[in-house]
DNA sequence: TCAGGCCATGTAAACCTTTACATACGAATG
DNA sequence: CATTCGTATGTAAAGGTTTACATGGCCTGA
């Protein structure tokens, strides 16, 4: 139970100064061959590992990235996370996870890691930036903070963003239903406090109006992106006197919940009602029927955003207010059927 | 773009020493009211936040936990993660994520954070501990490391573990099929390098043999826990001349892939083949038919393991080699049908 | 032979806290 | 009144690195 070896122990054994040991480790080419060997020998002998806390303190940098996720348990985010992890890891950065549960207090708490030296940058998957940080970024007095938003954009875009064109994607999905001959189309929307909800609603409305269809409050069913809310939407549909031709769901979870509950009550998809989703999660393909949906490049979201963040950190956090829009595409499966005109 | 305020700035403004500032922050009750107010005022004025790196260095502790996950993208793990996060957060610990992809090099790299002061403890969700750490733990010369394995146990249990009795759970699932009148039962197993695979295979075999059924290599279909391998298994079944009565799948993903592919080829579950899964992921309920499966308390896995780890850290890492076995239960849905005796 | 330059290394300060120990002061006790 | 005690604060060391600057030796070119 001896104390951990420090760089000083290594230096003593190798017969050099601590500075040389540090150099032998980080910039091996500036020390002589013999010294490098001596140092490596001493490192092996002592089992030395660099104390990261000391290093972080001295370098004023943590080599860590804080990732704010509204819900770790959600597949959608975890796939973005996987992309983030991939590039973070190859850049020697550790990722810290902050599960915010949409709570501004928790968001603030985790973002403080940027200020207190626990993290060098932050990735926002939660579509929200606490107001104290909005001020901090807008006030030019302070050093700009390296923050990038992913998938869910902030209301006023004050940090770089990586995502897709949700309105256009929703328009594409809706237009697809229209082209398949559907007219009475409902949109199962997400929660209103989410920006994606509004973008997708706008896309839906656009497509409908372009096709000469009227959109009213009755065109929307409230949801919250969960399977359960998809089930609830189905119950609502089942209770109504008139059925729509098709439902465009703001995400796959809801679409799957909806289809499952419709099936349980004998309503057939797509024969009675066509359904289209959004996200293309893994279970969209195995749903019955296979769910037609909009695919977004989630790993690419993670990878690109992490790259941008790394650049930002390198440059000292100069916020370029970039927006990187990645493509989406519609995946045809079996949940939408062609319907003869009216 | 001024420099960040340090405790010294606060001390100067408040007219006290840095020691007093530190005390005012961490042990407010030992300083006088007036001093505390002065310090708080100075903190507000300067916008001071504690530098965590300096604190970590001085205290020789990181207030962070490294969590090793084989696959972030997997729902199964992310729900455990959510449990971990919950208690970590309330204990003031940050969680660091190490995505290992089952690569021992990456496992080692991330576990090094325990030694280099980046993390105070580690949670293993990957069922494996690199040999260098096995030695480190077995050799009593070193200070024991606070490590807990979750869900997937290590081969020789050298760290505390939290999980369920997989063999008994598999036995329960298989027995359920037997009780429902099925005789020709196959097991779609997981990858052989995973300990859960073996535990669940053993449970399957046990149940079968107790019921007087013979288990042969032909009783197993190879899988790897992925949806795709469930689909592949279905293809294999479809190509065979004889169909089993029922399939016990080692996890829900495979069961869902299997059912989906069977359905696509006109084989009806449960009328032609009954299927039972393992894990009770969210999509088990929405699958068609609803998937009968074994539920494990995944959030509880996360919470309990984190509690144990925190205790371990508190006690200075004394490995008690505890094993905490949490209950499972069978959830009946529609994917298993009663079949008349042969 | 000497000035200049390069290369490998050493010295010591800096990064920002926490905390053991010392101090000073007022109150309580004898 | 002298002593003891407790309370609030200050002093300074320690935690383990990195790195600017200094040093010394050797080589090169004139």
User: pLDDT digits over A115-131, tens only?
Assistant: 999 999 999 999 999 99
C1' nearest to CA of B10: which nucleotide?
C16
d(CA B165, CA B8): 55
Q: Is B287 helix (H, G, I), strand (E, B) or coil?
A: coil
Amino acid B299 CA to nucleotide C18 C1' distance, rounded Å: 36
d(CA A56, CA A60): 6
Q: Which residue of B has its CA nearest to A61?
A: B53
Q: What is the pLDDT of residue B342?
A: 47
pLDDT more than 70, % of chain A: 96
Query: In chain B, which residues have their Cβ closer than 8 Å to the Cβ of A49?
Result: 112, 115-116
Residue A108 has pLDDT above 80, yes or no: yes
Q: What is the pLDDT of residue B75?
A: 82
d(CA B189, CA B197): 6
Dihedral over Cα of B195, B201, B202, B203: its sign: positive
Mean model confidence pLDDT for chain A? 92
User: pLDDT digits over B129-141, tens only?
Assistant: 999 899 888 876 5
User: Which band of pLDDT confidence, cut at 50, 70 and 90, is reported for residue B36?
Assistant: very high
Q: First vs last Cα of chain B: how many Å apart?
A: 81
Q: What is the pLDDT of residue B140?
A: 61
d(CA A111, CA A147): 10
The verdict on a CB contact (< 8 Å) between A75 and B79 is no
Q: Let me know: does A258 contact A234? Beta carbons within 8 Å.
A: yes
The answer to whether residue A18 neighbours chain B at the CB level (below 8 Å) is no
Q: Which residue of B has its CA nearest to A141?
A: B1
pLDDT more than 90, % of chain B: 85
Nucleic acid strand C: bases within 7 A of protein CB = 8-12, 14-20
The DSSP bridge pattern shows strands A246-249 and A274-276 to be parallel
Looking up tokens 């903190």 gives B43
Name the phi and psi angles at B269, rounded to 5.
-105, 130
Looking up tokens 């969700």 gives B125
Query: Which is higher by pLDDT, A144 or A183?
Result: A183
The DSSP bridge pattern shows strands B329-331 and B293-295 to be antiparallel
d(CA A120, CA A341): 57
Interface test with B, best of A70, A89, A265, A283 (most B CBs within 10 A): A283
The answer to whether residue A241 neighbours chain B at the CB level (below 8 Å) is no
Q: Which residue of B has its CA nearest to A50?
A: B116
Mean pLDDT of the region A74-87: 90
The answer to whether residue A114 neighbours chain B at the CB level (below 8 Å) is no
Mean model confidence pLDDT for chain B? 92
Residue A342 has pLDDT above 70, yes or no: no
Name the phi and psi angles at B89, rounded to 5.
-60, -40
Q: What is the pLDDT of residue A2?
A: 59
Q: Is A69 helix (H, G, I), strand (E, B) or coil?
A: strand
The answer to whether residue B282 neighbours chain A at the CB level (below 8 Å) is yes
Looking up tokens 């001024």 gives B2
Q: Let me know: does B43 contact B9? Beta carbons within 8 Å.
A: no
Region of A62 on the Ramachandran plot (φ > 0 left; ψ -120 to 50 alpha; else beta): alpha
C1' nearest to CA of B20: which nucleotide?
D9
Q: Name the residue among A277, A248, A243 with its Cα closest to residue A262.
A: A243
Q: Name the residue among A48, A9, A18 with its Cα closest to residue B117.
A: A48
Q: What is the pLDDT of residue A314?
A: 86
User: pLDDT digits over A251-278, tens only?
Assistant: 999 999 999 999 999 999 999 999 999 9
Residue B329 has pLDDT above 50, yes or no: yes
Q: What is the pLDDT of residue B141?
A: 52
User: pLDDT digits over A195-251, tens only?
Assistant: 999 999 999 999 999 999 999 999 999 999 999 999 999 999 999 988 999 999 999
The verdict on a CB contact (< 8 Å) between A286 and B257 is yes
Q: Let me know: does B203 contact B168? Beta carbons within 8 Å.
A: yes
User: pLDDT digits over A294-317, tens only?
Assistant: 999 999 999 999 999 999 998 765
Alpha-carbon distances, residue A169 vs A163, A183, A194, A240, B178 (angstroms): 12, 19, 16, 29, 49
User: How are the residues of chain B apportioned to helix, strand and coil, as percentages rounded to the nearest 5?
Assistant: 45, 15, 40
Name the phi and psi angles at B290, rounded to 5.
-55, 135
Instruction: Enumerate the H helices of chain A as residue ranges.
Output: 7-14, 18-26, 33-46, 52-59, 75-90, 104-115, 131-138, 166-179, 195-210, 227-239, 252-264, 282-286, 298-314
The verdict on a CB contact (< 8 Å) between A117 and B78 is no
Instruction: Enumerate the H helices of chain B as residue ranges.
Output: 7-14, 18-26, 33-46, 52-59, 75-90, 104-115, 131-138, 166-179, 195-210, 227-239, 252-264, 282-286, 298-314
User: In chain A, which among 42-81 make CB contacts under 8 A with chain B?
Assistant: 49-54, 56-57, 60, 62, 64, 71-75, 78-79, 81
Tokens of A65: 């990235």
User: How many Å separate Cα B51 from the centre of its chain?
Assistant: 32
Residue B1 has pLDDT above 60, yes or no: no
Does strand C come within 7 Å of the CB of A58? yes
Nucleic acid strand D: bases within 7 A of protein CB = 8-12, 14-20
Q: What is the pLDDT of residue A1?
A: 43
Query: Which is higher by pLDDT, B1 or B41?
Result: B41
Q: What is the pLDDT of residue A81?
A: 92
Exposed / middle / buried, residue A142 (Cβ in 10 Å: 0-12, 13-18, 19+) = middle
Q: What is the pLDDT of residue A320?
A: 65
Interface test with A, best of B282, B291, B297 (most A CBs within 10 A): B282
Q: What is the pLDDT of residue B271?
A: 95
The answer to whether residue B240 neighbours chain A at the CB level (below 8 Å) is no
pLDDT more than 90, % of chain A: 84
Mean pLDDT of the region B223-229: 96
User: pLDDT digits over A157-182, tens only?
Assistant: 889 999 999 999 999 999 999 999 99
Dihedral over Cα of A256, A260, A261, A265: its sign: positive
d(CA B315, CA B309): 10
Does strand C come within 7 Å of the CB of B56? no
Looking up tokens 């204990």 gives B91
Alpha-carbon distances, residue A178 vs A169, A337, B18, B121 (angstroms): 14, 11, 69, 55
DSSP H/E element including B150 = strand B147-150
CA geometry: angle A83, A88, A92, nearest 5 deg: 155
User: How many Å separate Cα A113 from the centre of its chain?
Assistant: 19
- Measure A177 CA to nearest chain B CA, in Å: 24
Q: Name the residue among A90, A93, A10 with its Cα closest to residue A56.
A: A93
Q: Which residue of B has its CA nearest to A113?
A: B52
d(CA A67, CA B146): 25
Exposed / middle / buried, residue A290 (Cβ in 10 Å: 0-12, 13-18, 19+) = middle
Mean pLDDT of the region B12-31: 94
Mean pLDDT of the region B99-115: 92
Across the interface, which of A60, A73, A288 has its CB nearest the CB of B260? A288
The answer to whether residue B226 neighbours chain A at the CB level (below 8 Å) is no
Residue A183 has pLDDT above 90, yes or no: yes
Question: What's the DSSP call for residue A325?
Answer: E
Q: Name the residue among B157, B148, B156 with its Cα closest to residue B309.
A: B148
């Amino acid at each position: 139970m001896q104390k951990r070896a420090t760089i000083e122990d290594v230096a003593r054994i190798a017969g050099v100064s601590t500075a040389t040991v540090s150099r032998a480790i980080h910039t091996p080419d500036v020390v002589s061959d013999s010294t490098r060997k001596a140092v490596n020998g001493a490192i092996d002998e002592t089992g030395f590992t660099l104390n990261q806390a000391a290093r972080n303190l001295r370098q004023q940098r943590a080599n860590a990235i804080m990732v704010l996720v509204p819900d770790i348990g959600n597949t959608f985010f975890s796939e973005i996370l996987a992309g983030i992890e991939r590039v973070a890891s190859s850049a020697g950065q550790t990722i810290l996870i902050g599960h915010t549960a949409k709570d501004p207090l928790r968001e603030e708490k985790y973002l403080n890691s940027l200020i207190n030296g626990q993290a060098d940058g932050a990735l926002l998957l939660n579509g929200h930036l606490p107001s104290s940080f909005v001020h901090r970024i807008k006030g030019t007095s302070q050093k700009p903070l390296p923050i990038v938003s992913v998938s869910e954009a902030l209301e006023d875009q004050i940090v770089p963003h990586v995502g897709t064109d949700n309105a256009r994607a929703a328009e594409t999905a809706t237009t697809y239903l229209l082209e398949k001959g559907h007219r009475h189309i409902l949109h199962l929307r997400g929660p209103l406090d989410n920006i994606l909800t509004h973008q997708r609603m706008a896309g839906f409305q656009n497509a409908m109006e372009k096709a000469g269809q009227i959109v009213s409050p009755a065109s929307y069913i409230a949801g919250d992106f969960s399977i359960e809310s998809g089930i609830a939407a189905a119950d609502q549909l089942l209770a109504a006197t008139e059925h729509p031709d098709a439902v465009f769901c703001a995400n796959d979870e809801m679409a799957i919940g909806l289809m499952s509950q419709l099936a349980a009550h004998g309503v057939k998809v797509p024969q009675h009602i066509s359904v289209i989703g959004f996200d293309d999660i893994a279970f969209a393909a195995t749903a019955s029927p296979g769910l037609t949906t909009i695919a977004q490049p989630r790993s690419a979201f993670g990878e690109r955003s992490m790259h941008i963040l790394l650049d930002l950190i390198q440059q000292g956090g100069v916020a370029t207010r970039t927006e990187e829009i990645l493509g989406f595409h519609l995946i045809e499966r079996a949940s939408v059927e062609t319907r003869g005109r009216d």
